[in-house]
A and B are shown apart, each in its own frame.
Chain A
Amino acid sequence: MRNPLSDTIVNIKPSGIRKFFDIVSEMKDAISLGVGEPDFDTPWHIRDEGIYSLEKGRTFYTSNSGLKDLKVEICNYMKRSQNVDYNPDTDVIVTVGGSEAIDIGFRAMLNPGDEVLIPQPSYVSYEPCAILAGAKPVIINLKAENEFRLTAEELEAAITDKTKILVLPFPNNPTGSIMEKEDLEKIVKVIIEKDIFVMSDEIYAELTYKDKHVSITSIPGMKERTILINGFSKAYAMTGWRLGYACGPKEIIQQMTKIHQYAIMCAPTTSQYAAVEALKNGDDDIKEMRTAYNQRRRFLMNAFKEMGLECFEPYGAFYVFPCIKEFGMTSEEFATRFLKEEKVATVPGTAFGDSGEGFLRISYAYSLETLKIAMDKLSKFITRLREEK
């Protein structure tokens, strides 16, 4: 029989997280700090709106690019949070999670041979999606000494004649790093001068613990060359609803909508109705969750300080990214031993790119009680490792 498979997809390596997942799933009593989604339930008034839409029989397709009401609310949100104007009729598409927006954004913009700059450590989808879109991913290895922010020098060094898109994954999963306004202004100069586009994945925009998040789209000259990606999963604890969106120049959104139209039809209708409620009346929920995350973040930073574990202070998302280089092990060895010996699951930094080597992603989307138990175990574990040496 002929080989039924596509070479392109076969050559893409499976997510590094998968392997770890299989080990952890077999341990029944392990504490996990490995989850990349909120521990909160979707706020009840949002769920209730979803239920109501079902009761009302709103079970049909919506228009391809999404419910008009939802697109209007998305534009209102961009206006009030970033003072950026988008037209709900032409500049917005509602997608099946932020992930779909990444995929169709690449496919709408990339030609074979184009290069996509991907700063790492970062979310696992960018590289394979760029390859599937026929482009060549070019990795920028972010540095711990810069708190894993992207610098203008790093960007400039990576740009070639073929560079088309820079992925900007901030606030960042897995490092928790953010890009503040000054950081953005520095790279914007290079972006405009070199005439490249940006895919800014701002799915964690509402979860920052310093100043309010600044979107690159709010910096003059950038709205025209940026696809902004956001969604409902992290801010409103709506991961399972699978709902995200992209905002950008209408020529790009139009082509993205074409792919979406043929491949997806439309994002889930129930989720779209719930999302309207989220954007209209969900600000207090976000504030409450953000306060809780921030307390846990401080708790972890203090716990690391007490056990002498090196970690830069992250101001975004719900991850901390401590450095484990002093123990002379790879991230995977450390995470595997920690899991086997103390039954706590974390994710090796290398699951998010080679530059995550020597680091560990710890999620604080867990109750303080769970985090306390886990930190006691981490403290015990590293004390033992230090004695071994």
Chain B
Amino acid sequence: MREELLAIVEKNSRIDTKELAVLLGVEEIDIINELAKLQDEGIICGFHTLINWEKTNIEKVMALIEVKVTPQRGQGFDNIAERIYKYPEVRAVYLISGGFDLLVILEEKTLKEIANFVSDKLSPLDSVLSTATHFILKKYKDYGIMLSEKYEDKREVITP
């Protein structure tokens, strides 16, 4: 049940426990207990809403920053990652294999704010060797949702 439950709530966090029980063919109390457990275990970490900000008149600038760092003895990348992810404007930090070490995703109101973050906060960190900043120009698909397409049922209305 756990896998199917997670698959549903990952796509629809607003679904209520009664409906979940119907869809999964179990008792509602089992759903409530399982969801509580999943939160306790830190498997479910939040209930977010996917917003296509481009359709609003609120300005948002998003950047992906490739960061090369020197890992620290005994700590690996964890310490430096923490120094970076503690900044509230940082949306995500991933440790990456390949040409660089950390991928930092940053969201700000203006390009200037992102530039300031990189030059004033990120680059001066001792372990940071170099950064490369990429700005996102357009989002086509996010969290598995195609942002520009709307589902339209093109089937015939009645078929055998």
B24 touches A123 (CB 8 A): no
A298 touches B23 (CB 8 A): yes
Given contacts A298-B22, A298-B23, A302-B22, contact A17 B160 (CB under 8 A): yes
> Which residues in window 67-90 of B have CB below 8 A to A?
none
Residues of A within 8 A of B159 (CB): 17, 34-37
Residues of A within 8 A of B4 (CB): 291
B150: Cβ under 8 A from any A Cβ: no
> Which residues in window 108-160 of B have CB below 8 A to A?
151, 153, 155-160
Interface string of A102-127 (1 = CB under 8 A from B): 00000000000000000000011100
Give CA–CA (A345, B155) in the complex, Å: 14
B25: Cβ under 8 A from any A Cβ: yes
B158 touches A20 (CB 8 A): yes
Give CA–CA (A178, B159) in the complex, Å: 21
CB closest chain-A residue, reference B4 = A291
Residues of A within 8 A of B19 (CB): 299
Interface string of B7-25 (1 = CB under 8 A from A): 1100000000001001111
Q: Shortest CB–CB separation between residue A34 and chain B, in angstroms? A: 4
Give CA–CA (A125, B160) in the complex, Å: 9
Give CA–CA (A368, B8) in the complex, Å: 12
Segment among A24-32, A46-54, A79-87, A194-202 that sits at the interface with chain B: A24-32
Residues of A within 8 A of B23 (CB): 295, 298-299, 368
B22 touches A347 (CB 8 A): no
CB closest chain-A residue, reference B15 = A368
A21 touches B22 (CB 8 A): no
A89: Cβ under 8 A from any B Cβ: no
A21 touches B158 (CB 8 A): yes
B24 touches A17 (CB 8 A): no
A156: Cβ under 8 A from any B Cβ: no
Given contacts A295-B24, A298-B24, A298-B25, contact A39 B153 (CB under 8 A): yes
Residues of B within 8 A of A368 (CB): 23
CB closest chain-B residue, reference A209 = B25
A261: Cβ under 8 A from any B Cβ: no
> Which residues in window 48-70 of B have CB below 8 A to A?
none
A63: Cβ under 8 A from any B Cβ: no
Residues of A within 8 A of B25 (CB): 298
CB closest chain-B residue, reference A288 = B7
Residues of B within 8 A of A21 (CB): 156-158
B8, B24, B158: the one within 8 Å of A35 (CB): B158
A383: Cβ under 8 A from any B Cβ: no
A-B contacts, 26 listed (Cβ < 8 Å): A17-B160, A21-B156, A21-B157, A21-B158, A24-B157, A24-B158, A25-B157, A32-B158, A34-B157, A35-B155, A35-B158, A37-B155, A37-B159, A39-B155, A123-B160, A125-B160, A291-B4, A291-B7, A298-B22, A298-B23, A298-B24, A299-B22, A302-B22, A347-B158, A351-B160, A368-B23
Q: Could you list which residues of chain B lie within 8 angstroms of chain A, going by C-beta atoms?
A: 4, 7-8, 19, 22-25, 151, 153, 155-160
Known: A34-B159, A345-B158. 14 other contacts (CB 8 A): A20-B158, A24-B157, A30-B157, A35-B155, A35-B159, A37-B155, A37-B159, A39-B153, A39-B155, A125-B160, A173-B160, A291-B4, A298-B23, A298-B25
